[in-house]
Amino acid sequence: MAVSESQVDELVPRQELKTLSPGKTKRTTFGIGLIKGLGITLRHMLTPAVTVQYPDESAPLPPRSRGIIALKEENCTVCMLCARECPDWCIYIEGHKEARESVGGKRAKKFNVLDRFAIDYALCMYCGICVEVCPYDALFWGQLDNYSEHDVTQLTHEMEQLNQWMYQVPPPEELEIGAMGPAVKPAAGPPAAGVEKEGA
């Protein structure tokens, strides 16, 4: 049921459907293609290589690169949100409630205290949902491009290691021109202004 050129236009009136066809590629005499190919490889041989020599030099990682997940322990309130949202169930959190005197000293307030925070990287699928949902900015993506362990059981990392990885976390980057953050709910204020083109 090959569709002819005239039919094609009728099929999609919404927008003109322009099709290209290989019949329009030009025919060449035998051997031209072979010689052209040789020319391309020769040209590349005489131009510098594009690769980097990996262990000595490595390509820079972008700030968002998902290497390892770092934990800022003091920010964690043991709300369990990350563990609940994790699709792989790879975050283990343990904690207990502790009564502490608040600064005013009026009455003891209960605080959640973090006892254990571990991520099983053998299960983790690096989706970053935990980082995304954390309401108190306790989880961050850190940069590491060659993370590995010799044994699968060693892939579960406890708090100490996750804290250490905070040093790998890059500073937050600027957004592209025209970015305005999430749309504001109408109830919260006037509708987001300036949807006009700013150009890039």
Partner 1 sequence: MERVGPEEFSRRVSSKLEDLASGFEVQYGHVWARVEPSRIVDVVRTLKTDPGLACTYFTFLSGVDWQAQGFEVVIVLYSVTYGNTVGLKVPVPAENPSMPTITGIFRSADWHEREASEMFGINFEGHPNLVKLYLPEDFIGHPLRKDFRLASRVFKPWPGAKDPSEAAGGGRA
Partner 2 sequence: MSTLIPTTDRWLREARLAGDATLRTEEMVLNIGPQHPATHGVLRVVVTLDGEKIVEGTPVVGYMHRGHEKLFEQRDFRQITNLCSRMDWLSGLNNEIPASIAVERLMELEVPRRATYLRVIMAEINRILNHLMFTGSFGLELGATTPVMYAFRERELLQSAMELATGGRLHFGFIRPGGLKEDVPRGFVDLALRGIRQLQKAIPDYEDLLMGNEIFKARTVGVGVLDPDLALEYGVSGPILRGSGIPYDVRKAEPYLNYDEFDFNIPVGTNGDSFDRYWVLIQEMKESAKIVEQALLDLPAGSHIGQVPKRLTIPKGAIWAKAENPLGELGYYIVSDGEAKPYRMKARTPSFNNISVVPHMLRGAYVPDMVAILGSMFFVVGDIDR
Partner 3 sequence: MADALGNGYVQLGLKMSVLLILLPATLVLGWVELKIGAHMQARLGPMYPGGFHGWAQTLADGIKFVLKENIIPRNADRSVFALVPYVTMLGAALIFVVIPAGRNLVIEDLEVGVFYVLAASSVGVIGILMAGWSSANKYSLMGALRAAAQLIAYELPLVLAAAAVAMMAGSLSLVDIVEAQKSIEIAGFYIPFLPFQIVGFIIFLTAATAELTRPPFDMPVAEAELITGAFTEYTGIRFAFSLFAAEYISMIGLAAFGATLFLGGYAPPHSALEFIPGIVWLLLKTLTILFLLIWVRWTYPRLREDQLQKFAWKFLIPLSLVNIFATGALKLTPWI
Of these partners, partner 2, partner 3, partner 1, none, which one is at the site of residue 18 (CB under 5 to 8 Å by kind)? partner 2
CB of 11 vs partner 1, minimal distance in Å: 6
10 binds, among partner 2, partner 3, partner 1, none (CB under 5 to 8 A by kind): partner 1
- Cβ contact 124:82 at 8 Å: no
Stretch that binds partner 1, among 35-43, 54-62, 92-100, 177-185 (CB under 8 A): 92-100
| Per-residue 3-state assignment (H helix, E strand, C coil) for 22-49 | HHHCCCCCCCHHHHHHHHHHHHHHHCCC
Q: Measured between alpha carbons, how far is 54 from 146 in angstroms, rounded to an integer?
A: 11
Pairing status of strand 139-142 against strand 68-71: antiparallel
Site for partner 1 in 97-156 (CB under 8 A): 97, 112, 115
Residue 59 touches partner 3, criterion: CB under 8 A:
no
122 Cβ contact list (under 8 Å, min separation 6):
90, 152, 155, 156
Least CB distance from residue 68 to partner 1, whole Å? 19
Cβ–Cβ under 8 Å, residues 110 and 123: no
84 binds, among partner 3, partner 2, partner 1, none (CB under 5 to 8 A by kind): partner 1
- The pattern of x and - marking residues 19 through 58 that bind partner 3 according to CB under 8 A reads ---------------x--xx-xxx-xx-x-xxx-x-----
**Single-letter amino acid, residue 85:** E
